[in-house]
Amino acid sequence: MTRVRAGLLVMCVALSAATVLPAAAASRIAVKRGANYGSRIFPSNHFTVRDPRQVTGLRVHFRKGLDYPSYKGRVRRACGASDYSICDAFAELNKLDGFDLQPRVTVPFTGGIRLSSVNDTNFFISTRSGKFVSGLRQLTFDPATHTLAGISDKFLREDTRYRIHVTRGILDSHGKHVKACGGSCAVTFTTRTASGELVRIRRSMDLPLSDRRNAYRLAGFPNTAGRKLTFTQNGKADVFLASSVAPSLVDPLNGMIRNDQVKANPKAPAAFSASAVPNLIPTGAAGYFAFGSFLSPRYQFASSSAHQDQRYGVGKGHTDGEIPPVPTKRTARPFGADRLGVIAVTPDPNVHPPPWPAAVYGPGFTRSDYDIFVSADYNASMGIVTIATDPAGHGYGSKSTTSVTSNGVKTTFKSYGRGRDLDGDGTIGDGLNDGVGPTGHFGQGKSELPSHKPIDGLQSGLVQTVVDNMALGRSLKAGLTIPGIGGGKNLVDPKRIMYYGISFGGIYGTMLMGTDPLFHRGLMNVPGGPIVDIARLSSFRGDLANTLARSRPNLLNGGPGRDGFTEDLPLRNDPSEVIKHPGAAALQELFGASNWYERTGSPETFAPRIRLRPDPAWAKHPKDAAFQTAYADGTVPNPTAGTLYRAGQLFDRVVYYRNDKTPTYASDPHGWLADPTLFGRSSGQQQLADFLSTGQLLNTNPDYLEVPIANPNNLECLHYADPQTGQAAVRQPFPASGDCAPAPKHR
């Protein structure tokens, strides 16, 4: 989205000023009250139409040629080859039933204002009746377009009407009060429905199989037995006594080996890549390692590159990796079913007789279910069976295999990799462009075209992954039997099914905990949201830059920001900022639109549902939820964790790992629950196992852990240089590391 391009908005200013302001008042700065997007306060129900298919009764309606034209000089024209991402983004927004739950609010003026005069008394959000709800933070002013912008400090309720207030208390650049609709402008907007898609899918999964709306039936499952886990391939059980599996070594390869399909053509040179599976589970701590599979309904359109969006000239019209949106009163229908791989680590049945409590583990971004061997080492010793599956788009190609050497005998079987060559580059990665979300396509001449779903980043893959974990949980509830263990009896207590996840697994784990009553207890390690904010503030900033470069138009606006772009967007506790870099306002708008669209697959949407506004399915039996966050996390930065916890009022359930107080203070602490090179891993693992076992959140190392976080304000800064400055992410040890600065006063 590039509404805030100078040419477009300068023209809007000229048109609106001519039609709205009387000639006698032309010298007085005023809030613009035009008819089109960019010439009036936003969001506003002015940009909606009635739609009875939607929960809100409304649907967003930006008008092509009026609200999102592009310009060549002063001539309005349709989006073309150089800027079609603009039209594509607005087309996506037009499918929503309301506005963002933490909206970016924009106010266009006829001239410059004094940004320091803006505060919670003259720029705020209220209920329909006028009661104050939230101020606006991260304030910016764009001198090129005279546009004030701010982000709601509160995460708003879904399907609710609010009002934006802008008053004459704001001063213009000469210190005079602005003209604001006769004293105070008040604009009504309705927030969208965001959690409903997953909630409806979950309900459809729990309908009787005889019901035509049952998700499993629609996905083509033959019967209830088809939901259960199987640990047999080609008539042979892939189950191994843990103590019989040789340690995994790099050279020569033995123990457990993954052989990943990394080329779309399995017959191509170097089509497979072999590597050892790290295993940190001590000998004797676990009973068995079991490798199997199960079926899950597939809502995400993810087939071969031959079925790309028809606007690339091929296929049936679905962009690979997207879950096509439906009106919010309807339930999405699956395209079919996928067989997904699973790995289980069991307790020793002689020490801990089944049935066992079960913990589903959620791997991180670009990681896989193999990480169960570096995250479940304490669970088995406490009598918990742990089981994991890959996130959507992960695990490399479908011909990937696993080899396990047990008592000197090597067994090889399918690992059911979920990666696909969706962008047509001939390779299969482990996430991002290979199945997590909508992808672009390499056209003729090997130049990559952007996706026609530019603001659906990881949303679709996150929703599908939650569905997969709900299906896995229901497989466990239906009964877990593993050949050679327990004499064919059920090994899992169906009333004690839990969850824990790391990073990406903590993100979709929050969504899972806010959707599914089956999971009564869960620990989410280093989560955060929304996704775009994670990307722009973290080590993923380069991946975001690649996406901006592919966009039509290219949105890279140069430094000083790292990776070729600068957004001039302050953090929540930072002072207001006047935009200095051309193109920064367009980036802010793109990020705001992406957050708005992706709330359906973003954890902060589901955080309030855990306990602040619990689902009726568990309101009488509150969930046990805990979160672990690391000081100066460079992969899921602290401010994004703060956004998540504020949305659900969860700070009392947050453990803060003070990496700055450890000898590894200079490292990115993001992987502290799984990485043995980081101090604190053992303490985190012990805390995890204790929590899953008892529901108690214990402080297993007071030197490094705050239980709960002592100062939630410490989640409002990065604790390293903001990438917008161009500086490297250098971390300091305690006490030089320090606390975040307090937020500026807004009242």
Q: Are residues 54 and 185 in the same domain?
A: yes
pLDDT at 9 over 50: no
For the ranges 226-230, 308-312, 403-407, the lowest mean pLDDT is seen at 308-312
Task: Quote the Cα angle for 607-342-219, to 5°.
Answer: 75
pLDDT at 253 over 90: no
Between 499 and 743, the higher pLDDT residue:
499
Query: Which residues have CB under 8 Å from 575's CB, separation 6+?
Result: 744
Give the chain's end-to-end CA distance (angstroms, integer). Answer: 33
State mean pLDDT over 178-204: 97
Q: Are residues 96 and 237 in the same domain?
A: no
Asked if the structure places residue 641 within a domain, the reply is no
Asked if the structure places residue 553 within a domain, the reply is no
What pLDDT is recorded for position 221? 85
Q: What percent of the chain has pLDDT over 90?
A: 81
Which is nearest to 348 in space by CA: 280, 289, 286, 281?
Answer: 286
What digits encode the pLDDT tens for the residues 69-94?
655 555 555 678 888 899 999 999 99
What pLDDT is recorded for position 746? 66
Which is nearest to 596 in space by CA: 190, 239, 250, 286?
Answer: 190
Q: Are residues 178 and 161 in the same domain?
A: yes
Task: Quote the Cα angle for 289-291-295, to 5°.
Answer: 140
Q: Are residues 443 and 469 in the same domain?
A: yes
State mean pLDDT over 142-170: 98
Which is nearest to 691 in space by CA: 627, 599, 615?
Answer: 627
What digits encode the pLDDT tens for the residues 23-37?
344 478 999 999 999
Band of the pLDDT at 452, cuts 50, 70, 90? confident
Asked if the structure places residue 462 within a domain, the reply is yes
The CATH number of residue 64's host domain is 2.60.40.1220
Mean pLDDT of the chain: 91
Q: Are residues 355 and 418 in the same domain?
A: yes
What pLDDT is recorded for position 747? 65
- 97 residue type, one letter: D
What pLDDT is recorded for position 449? 83
pLDDT at 308 over 70: no
Whole-angstrom Cα distance, residue 312 to residue 591? 25
pLDDT at 1 over 70: no
Say how many domains are in the chain: 2
Band of the pLDDT at 15, cuts 50, 70, 90? very low
pLDDT at 305 over 70: no
Asked if the structure places residue 681 within a domain, the reply is no
Distance of alpha carbon 354 from the chain centroid? 36
**What domain range includes position 149?**
6-193
What pLDDT is recorded for position 479? 94
- 746 residue type, one letter: H
Asked if the structure places residue 747 within a domain, the reply is no
Band of the pLDDT at 12, cuts 50, 70, 90? very low
What digits encode the pLDDT tens for the residues 534-588?
999 999 999 999 999 999 999 999 999 999 999 999 999 999 999 999 999 999 9
Q: Are residues 270 and 125 in the same domain?
A: no
Three-state DSSP string of 122-143: CEEEEECCCCEEEEEEEEEEEC
Asked if the structure places residue 305 within a domain, the reply is yes
Band of the pLDDT at 422, cuts 50, 70, 90? confident
Between 86 and 377, the higher pLDDT residue:
86
Using the 3D structure, point to which of 162, 193, 224 is the last residue of a domain.
Answer: 193
Using the 3D structure, point to which of 462, 483, 502 is the last residue of a domain.
Answer: 502
Q: Are residues 308 and 419 in the same domain?
A: yes
Using the 3D structure, point to which of 478, 502, 526 is the last residue of a domain.
Answer: 502
What digits encode the pLDDT tens for the residues 693-722?
999 999 999 999 999 999 999 999 999 999
Q: Are residues 163 and 236 in the same domain?
A: no
Q: Are residues 253 and 352 in the same domain?
A: yes
What digits encode the pLDDT tens for the residues 264-284?
999 999 999 999 999 999 888
Q: Are residues 206 and 148 in the same domain?
A: no
Band of the pLDDT at 433, cuts 50, 70, 90? confident
pLDDT at 7 over 70: no
pLDDT at 377 over 60: yes
CA atoms 167, 171, 173, 179: torsion sign: positive
Asked if the structure places residue 657 within a domain, the reply is no
pLDDT at 150 over 50: yes
Q: Are residues 189 and 207 in the same domain?
A: no
pLDDT at 436 over 90: no
Asked if the structure places residue 658 within a domain, the reply is no
Whole-angstrom Cα distance, residue 399 to residue 4? 46
- The pTM for the full model equals 0.94
Q: Are residues 207 and 182 in the same domain?
A: no
What pLDDT is recorded for position 83? 86
Whole-angstrom Cα distance, residue 740 to residue 112? 31
Q: How far is CA 585 from CA 9, 77, 134, 147, in A?
A: 11, 22, 23, 9
